[in-house]
Amino acid sequence: MKKHILNTLAVSAMLVLSASSYAQSSISGYFVEGYNQRYQLNPAFAPERPAYVELPGLSNIQFNGEGSVGMSHFIFESKSKPGMLTTFMSSDIDAKDFLDALPDAAQFNVDVNMDILGFGFGSKNWFTTINVKLRNSEKVSLPKDLFSFMKSSFSQGDYLIKDINVTSITYVEYSVAHSHKIGDHLTIGGALKFLEGGAYASLNIDEIDASLGANEWLVKSNGTMNLAVPGMEYKVNDENVFDGFKDKYDFKMPSSYGFAVDLGAEYDFKDIVDGLKISAAITDIGFINWGETTTFATDNQEYVRFDGFENYDVMAKDKDKDTQLEDIGNKYKDMIKLYRQGEPENKSVTLDATFRTGAEYEMPFADWLSFGEVMTLRTGLVPYFESRTSICMSPSEWFDVTGNIGLSTMGNSMGLLLNLHPRGFNFFFAVDRIAAEFNPQFIPMKDFGLSFSLGMNLAFGDKR
């Protein structure tokens, strides 16, 4: 949610400069009973021991980043000057080759979540958990038509670019979750969450209508930007058009609050098919009412004269590369004018809900071995679907390991979770996805996925 991201379509520069699933806990642990944090995936699940305490800031740290493109899609070796780098805007680079290599939308998702503190307690048939969690999510979706428009530069014609979306949200979640067993087969669960908003920003450009005349572009845009960043002041020019952020920042207490609920259930079919369990959950059904939200919007009837993009050519040094990419962002800033709309006001924003359904079958010849399938669907501007197949092994009462394969709208992945849970503590390390190729500056070169989590908790008592 830095200036570089929010400066309207300067996101085009950010797209190439940085790697920008929305998860609460490792999906690899969905079927691992000794994994304490799995109640965050389905509130019907409960820890195996009657009490546990989270170590502040260390109990569950998760990072998830994925993207459908990387630097190699936009930066190339110059054909006219071998050994030198150039951008996709250079005349050296064939437009068809460049566009054919791009997906329909360049998408980036980054989530960072951390349990701040928490504890849980229960008995044989029920369990209650209290948790405080910091959550952050960044999403970017840029259509291929946007880059086609840039590459065409001064080629005459008409262009219609739709659905440019950038969203950033940070908030603290205070939750109370309860799992309860009903009879010998059914377990239900739910969580009530109070949310305290930290910062929110969204840029949604519904469409850009561009037409090239004899010497210049005429561009008409339709879009809005909403900003709720306590203590941050925005700059506007003489026309009341958004012009970035002021350097001054005054901390203010949050004025944004909301609520959410999780619901889940698990059913054991042991009387019909011994070893089979079916589960389902929906999490993050809720909203945050963002106080003092400033709205900027385009004048949908206004045609802006635009002098086009330069032929951004060879980049001799990284400094030159950064300058060129920043200039591309500034071009968009001049092309799409976002006017301030009145005074700040409250704005309610719905969270992206996540649906999960799973099935696990324990082998009749080995109760330490099971297979599971979990499907995940997340709503939002960029919907996400994943199907993940797992094999879970518990060779001892205090050690679990699971390996899995996932197929999703962001590509394929492999995952692994190691879970140690003897009496007294629980330690886990999970990798849900690792498929990435980075340059020395740790910028992804191609489509990528990197998701991992780790944590340690204290656990007490005999197994429930």
Nearest to 362 by CA among 334, 390, 342: 390
d(CA 420, CA 34): 8
pLDDT exceeds cutoff 60 at 170: yes
pLDDT at 15: 36
d(CA 333, CA 251): 27
Mean pLDDT of the residues in the chain:
85
pLDDT at 401: 96
Mean pLDDT of 357-365: 96
Residue 42 tokens, joined: 């389905």
To the nearest whole percent, how much of the chain has pLDDT over 90? 53
d(CA 56, CA 73): 41
Strands 354-362 and 276-297: antiparallel
pLDDT-derived band at 13 (thresholds 50, 70, 90) equals very low
Nearest to 428 by CA among 4, 13, 21, 27: 27
Q: Backbone dihedral region of 233: left (phi > 0), alpha (psi from -120 to 50 degrees) or beta?
A: beta
Residue 63 CA, distance from chain mean position: 10
d(CA 236, CA 233): 10
Report the range out of 104-118, 144-158, 247-261 with the highest average pLDDT: 104-118
Helix (H, G, I), strand (E, B) or coil at 12: helix
Q: How big is the chain, counted in residues?
A: 464
d(CA 131, CA 175): 5
Helix (H, G, I), strand (E, B) or coil at 386: strand
Q: H/E element holding 95?
A: helix 95-100
Nearest to 71 by CA among 452, 443, 450: 443
Nearest to 24 by CA among 171, 139, 141: 171
Mean pLDDT of 424-428: 94
Q: What is the pLDDT of residues 217-265, one digit of tens each?
A: 788 889 999 999 888 888 888 888 888 777 766 767 778 999 999 999 9
Mean pLDDT of 88-98: 85
Mean pLDDT of 58-80: 86
pLDDT exceeds cutoff 60 at 180: yes
Ordered structural domains, the chain, with CATH: 3-460 (2.40.160)
What's the pTM? 0.87
pLDDT exceeds cutoff 90 at 77: no
Nearest to 102 by CA among 127, 73, 130: 73
d(CA 411, CA 249): 40
